[in-house]
Amino acid sequence: MEFNDIYLYTLNMAVVVVFIGALIGCVIPVIPGPTMLAVMVLIHKLCFSEILPWGVVVFCAIIACLTQVGDFLLSWLGAKKYGATWRGAVGAVIGSVVAIFIPPQFITIFVFPFIFALGFEYIACSDFNKSVKAGWGAFLGGIIAMVFKVICCFAMIVAFTMYVF
């Protein structure tokens, strides 16, 4: 086995580990799963330029950017869909951002958008039932965002593996 083969084998094993970490990162918000995946695809391209076309790298970068935007946007849209004012929707986004920094993130990423949307909506309209409904929408938006990230990661993994493995 030549050095180049060992190098390729090692890099491919690192890619598989990053794939697993990226999928975990779709659920745990501290780990930027789709971004990790896109960076690993770029590293693979830079190390073995003849294997992977640039189109796959660009595709993965675009998908990673979309997941970052979608993560916050879906909480916003979830709150708005369930009748939140702009204040409740902003609360959902702020809750998503704050949840990144408060452990345990697996729990706070779902609870904080709900709490912040509820709180901001209650400040805006003083109707607790409407506020709970807005919080519920933010919670559902967060769940949909998580599913969206998992689907996007699988799309990147499929695009990568079509050329490499």
Write out the two tokens for 32.
């930027």
Specify the number of domains making up the chain: 1
93 contacts 117 by C-beta, under 8 angstroms: no
Q: What is the pLDDT of residue 57?
A: 96
What is the chain's pLDDT, residue by residue, as a tens digit (165 residues)? Answer: 677 788 888 888 998 999 999 999 888 766 789 999 999 999 999 988 888 999 999 999 999 999 988 888 888 888 889 888 889 888 988 998 898 888 888 788 889 989 999 999 999 888 899 899 989 998 898 899 899 999 999 999 999 999 887
Helix pair 3-25, 33-47: axis angle to 10 deg: 170
Q: Where do we find the tokens 């693979």? A: 44
Q: What is the pLDDT of residue 22?
A: 93
DSSP string of 97-153, one letter each residue: HHHHHSS-HHHHHHHHHHHHHHHHHHHHH--HHHHHHHHHHHHHHHHHHHHHHHHHH
Structural domain boundaries, residue 132: 3-164
Q: What is the pLDDT of residue 75?
A: 80
Q: What is the pLDDT of residue 37?
A: 94
The set of residues, in sequence order, having a beta carbon less than 8 Å from that of 1 and lying 6+ positions away, is none
Q: What is the pLDDT of residue 1?
A: 66
Amino acid at 11: L
Q: What is the pLDDT of residue 138?
A: 86
